[in-house]
Amino acid sequence: MSAENIVIVESPAKARTIGKMLGANYRILASMGHVRDLPEHSMGVDIENKFEPQYEITKDRVRIIKELQSAAKGATHIYLAPDPDREGEAIAWHLQEILKKNSKAEFRRVTFHEITRAAIDRAFKTPGKIDMHLVDAQQARRVLDRLVGYKISPLLWTRIEKGISAGRVQSVALRIVCEREREIIAFVPKEYWDFNAEFSSQAGASPIDFKTKLVQIDGQKAEIGNADDAGRIATAVRGAKNYSVASVDIKPVSRSPYPPFITSTLQQAAGGLGFSASATMQLAQQLYEGVELGEGGPVGLITYMRTDSVAVAQEAQSICRDYIASTHGNEYIPAKPNFYKSKASAQGAHEAIRPTDVSLTPDKAKDFLDARQLKLYTLIWRRFVASQMASAEQKRTTVEVEAQAPDSHKYRFRAVATVTTFPGFMKVYKASETEQDGDSQAPSALAELRTGQACKLAKLETEQKFTEPPARFSEAMLIKELEANGIGRPSTYASIVKTIQDRQYVLREKGRLIPSELGFKVNDFLVSSLPELFQIQFTAAMEEKLDKIEEGEVLWTAMLEEFYGSFSKWLDEVKNAGAPEGDKAITLLNLLDKVRKWAAPEKAGRRTYDDSKFVKSVREKFDEDGKITARQWEALLNMAVKYADQISGLETSGEKAGFSEELASARERVSVAQARREETASSSEDQAKYTEIFSLFEPVQWEKPEKRGARSYDDGKFFASLKRQAESGKLLSEKQRAVLSRLASKYKEQIKDYEKLAELLGVSSEAAEGDAANPAANAEKNAEIEALLTPLAQVKTWAEPVKKGPRVYDDKAFFESLSRQHQQGRKLSDKQVAALKKLASKYSAPAAPAD
């Protein structure tokens, strides 16, 4: 293998597919996505220096970067081949910035929208350079999101709850979901009545029976809003004797095919298969990066899946038209190829999502794909082929029957029937299985009726109904709403929807998105405090500015300067909201000057709270600029209550200065906090017990942190947090003590006096040992578990993690956790074995792909 030509892509799957196409003259390496980012624990943006990002190599990419640097040293050419969009261009740029310091190789950028031999050959024959406009657009978005998150999240910590965060675009998505939920809550159902009538008429020797619906009364739309009116009208309709055909209208209807998929429409359509937006993108990525097709080796089955363009390459269009003609006949291809118009903001260089080889039908591909991959491939293949087919031709017959009733009102009923005379694209693709011909009654029978022909009312049914509130958003519906409002782009839709669920601001129940109580609180605070920033129109305008940076029309630093000017002003307004007037602040600070005996500094966890030092720092800052923040004011009021016995005239001065009510609120806060401290405070006996418990854990060597789904489990870190809590004088909760007992059982081999520890924790060492004394039973159970784990280890594609309330159900992470537990010789509980059986059953017989 030559080391002279290095190719760097994002993933191992993409590397394998491209590697087999390029051959031995190229060494293919994977960066595993982004390699540099803004730092985790600081803002990482130098605002004063034109918003310069302070990038650092991400922790889990350090080893990969070392490998790439080592490979780059001996290379003559380095081909940067990440995905063809902003994120991919940024990855390529970061790689070049890092590797050029240790390599004299020539860097070349290669882009392709499908991973086929022809596309790869073309890309490597015509390499280019990194597009800095694309990179700048990505940098601008990243810095923009960091500024908003870093500056606003602390406001949420003080106003709502510690540890939560705000996002520039995600918060607008949350707003949309919350506003829809409030519409639903405020909705008042309105009563209405449907009138469905069956008529019969004679056409020659054969009677014609047909169903109709009341549509007009005296030429106006029929609107019946209560039972009294419904009863009166029903009596009148039944009493009418002169029903006749008022009109017969037969007209042809042409139905055009749908355009091929873009990211948002694919995510919406895949929702009908039960796939979340994230699952759809995960499966599409697998199809794009390459699938083994037997002896032919791996090949990408679809074009790049992050796109907002409905354009199709002329070559692909011609091949598809030939396929349609040979498979279905020339009548199924339109005289001129179908062209679809993309949005103005669509990236012109991109194509729609389509199969790379239209001759690879879903039936031919099924042996190489798992059930979920096949369902998505089928959906993409059918939609694309249909998009290049002729329109469907239909005949719609509309008949209206009218009579003047005894109440002197004219009542008109309508029947509609549609028949498909030529299926066109519908032979291959329907948006849903319910998309059939319009009515069950035969259009041919309705067409035999003639104007003026007498009809007889055979049956009348009335039905009370109520208007429905707006539907809650599904993931697909929310993405459609975001796209309609110009919020987000193909690469961000799935992450936006996922983030608001991961943060537990939005819950997913029966496929619908419902704001949590926390979500409502966050949204209400953000919208009321920063209305301009979280306006839907403002967010859409920012997306347009990012597009202009990408097109080279706007400098990214100029856009950030303009934004930050407004953003800083909005932030100051929020921070100063609730801050006291100068007179109030001076009065309270002067009163606190009377305190002579301050409490000793108090250590809580890693922080030390020093009342005297705090008041002094606030006083010095106030003397300097005359400002006190709302948070500082609240803290000073709490101090005044705490040291009230040393402050003479507190009540009188507070009343004169106008903060007596605020003092009363502070008194209540301090009282509640004190009661809570007393409830959780540990006694000296508890303290001695905790000291002994934690000392017995000292020899333990903790296992490395383990990632399960979105969460990371770190035994050592968790133990340290419990220890800090106990040392600060707080009792451990029942749940925390239970976890501590489990840790003791897990690491019992490293604990010298395990029996003593079990006794202190209140658990039996025998119970903790489980049924180790029964090896025969254990062997039988182990064999059962092995039989369940073995087939699950062969599963290629796992279902997307699902969030239900605060919990995340992740099949893959759950399987891997149980597998590790079993391999380490740790017993699985009966509950875990039962869950494993369910999991094995779920993946044992994949469902047949949907048509």
Tell me how far apart the alpha carbons of residues 452 and 383 are, in angstroms, rounded to a whole number. 45
Task: Give the DSSP per-residue string, 151-214.
Answer: HHHHHHHHHT-TT----TTHHHHHHHHHHHHHHHHH----EEEEEEEEEEEEETTEEEEEEEEE
Task: Give the DSSP per-residue string, 657-674.
Answer: HT-HHHHHHHHHHHHHHH
Look up 304 and say whether it is catalytic.
Answer: yes
- State the DSSP code for 306: -
Taking CA atoms, 842 is separated from 376, 393, 795, in Å, by 19, 43, 11
Tell me how far apart the alpha carbons of residues 58 and 56 are, in angstroms, rounded to a whole number. 6
Q: Of 357, 348, 421, 358, whose CA–CA distance to 386 is shortest?
A: 358
Burial of 728 (0-12, 13-18, 19+ CB in 10 A): middle
- State the DSSP code for 341: P
Tell me how far apart the alpha carbons of residues 57 and 33 are, in angstroms, rounded to a whole number. 12
- State the DSSP code for 107: E
Amino acid at 648: S
What's the half-sphere exposure (Cβ side, CA atoms, 13 Å) at 502?
16
Tell me how far apart the alpha carbons of residues 746 and 594 are, in angstroms, rounded to a whole number. 56
Identify any residues that bridge with 397 across adjacent strands, giving them in sequence order.
250, 417
Query: Residue 587 corresponds to which tokens in the numbers above?
Result: 């009065």
Tell me how far apart the alpha carbons of residues 620 and 612 are, in angstroms, rounded to a whole number. 12
Tell me how far apart the alpha carbons of residues 304 and 321 are, in angstroms, rounded to a whole number. 21
Handedness of CA 247, 248, 251, 256 (dihedral sign): positive
What are the start-end ranges of the H helices in 196-313? Answer: 227-239, 263-271, 277-289
Q: Any long-range contacts for 313-318 (C-beta under 8 Å, 24+ apart)?
A: 313/351, 316/351, 316/354, 316/358, 317/388
Query: Residue 43 corresponds to which tokens in the numbers above?
Result: 């803002």
Q: Are 802 and 508 in contact (CB under 8 A)?
A: yes
Tell me how far apart the alpha carbons of residues 565 and 436 are, in angstroms, rounded to a whole number. 56
What are the start-end ranges of the H helices in 295-398? Answer: 314-328, 362-365, 371-387
Burial of 185 (0-12, 13-18, 19+ CB in 10 A): exposed
Query: Residue 166 corresponds to which tokens in the numbers above?
Result: 């705000």
Please pick, among 288, 304, 411, 754, the residue that the annotation labels catalytic: 304
CB within 8 A of 427, min separation 6: which ones? 328, 332, 389
Q: Are 394 and 419 in contact (CB under 8 A)?
A: yes
Q: Are 209 and 198 in contact (CB under 8 A)?
A: yes
Distance of CA 123 to the CA centre of its chain: 33
Q: Are 225 and 424 in contact (CB under 8 A)?
A: no
Q: Are 266 and 380 in contact (CB under 8 A)?
A: yes
Max intra-chain CA distance, the chain: 111
Distance of CA 201 to the CA centre of its chain: 56
Task: Tell me the catalytic residues.
Answer: 304
